[in-house]
Amino acid sequence: MSKDPQPSDKYGVQKDMEAIAALERDAELMLRVREGDDTSFALLLDRHRAPVVHFLYRMVQNDAVSEELAQEVFLRVYRSRATYEPTAKFTTWLFRIATHLALNWIRDGKREKGQESLSADVLDGVERQVPDKQLTVEQELVYEVKLKEVREAIGMLPEKQRAAVMMHKYEELEYSQIAKALNCSESAVKSLLFRAYETLRARLAHMA
């Protein structure tokens, strides 16, 4: 479990207020970008660069491609600054652009072109991902096997289910935000997530 399943109410309210303040700040920064303030764009980039790159990395499972797509996301944000209206949360808009680009890339079959060698990429990724340098060789091998299985299980999910899981599990977006990013209803998102987790539970049951 990445989070405490029973957050105290006080902690929850404080967290919600911080989240609301952050969302308002994003919209405010984007409105300043619209007025021509490039410093605000730099602040937005610093706040959202890592989540967008990580989301895209998990979607396309390729380091170089994920950065290239993330660059395209921010370029499109900057390009459409003049027409920006804060009708939805900034993160929802951002992830909608990212999801659209990722799904297009997957559908275009660029996966085969961009991924020269899956095994090389996995090893490269693992080398950069291992957080604890104190792992023994055996622990590292176990970690690599586990990671490979997780990546393969997620990679086998249908595109929309994969995107929904990435946004729900790793980016912690709300159902309504995921629905807007995927251009579907909230109930459809819940259904996508339930089916995806059910499939993953079955595929990764042996890891328990």
Partner 1 sequence: MDCLKNANSGAEILLDYCSGALDSARAAELERHIENCAECSRVVDAQRQLWSALDTWKTPVVSADFNARLYARIVEEKQAPRWRQWIRRITQPALPYALWKPAALATACAVMAVGFLVDVPRLTHPPAKGTTQVETQHVDIEQVANALEELDLLMPASPAPANPM
Closest approach of partner 1 to the CB of residue 21, in Å: 19
Closest approach of partner 1 to the CB of residue 39, in Å: 12
3-state SS record for 123-160 = HHHHHHHCCCCCCCHHHHHHHHHHHHHHHHHHHCCCHH
Closest approach of partner 1 to the CB of residue 142, in Å: 10
**Given the complex with partner 1, which of 22 and 42 has the nearer CB atom?**
42
**Given the complex with partner 1, which of 2 and 137 has the nearer CB atom?**
2
**Given the complex with partner 1, which of 28 and 127 has the nearer CB atom?**
127
Q: Which residues bind partner 1 (CB under 8 A)?
A: 1-9, 12, 42, 45, 49-50, 53-54, 57-58, 63, 67, 70-71, 74-80, 93, 96-97, 100, 125, 128-131, 143, 146-147, 150-151, 154, 168-170, 172, 190, 193-194, 197, 200-201, 204-205, 207-208
Residue 185 contacts residue 179 (beta carbons within 8 Å): yes
d(CA 129, CA 135): 12
d(CA 33, CA 49): 16
SS3 content of the chain, % helix, strand, coil (to 5): 80, 0, 20
Closest approach of partner 1 to the CB of residue 157, in Å: 12
Quote the Cα angle for 128-67-48, to 5°.
95
Closest approach of partner 1 to the CB of residue 74, in Å: 6
Classify residue 116 by its DSSP letter: S
**Given the complex with partner 1, which of 102 and 200 has the nearer CB atom?**
200
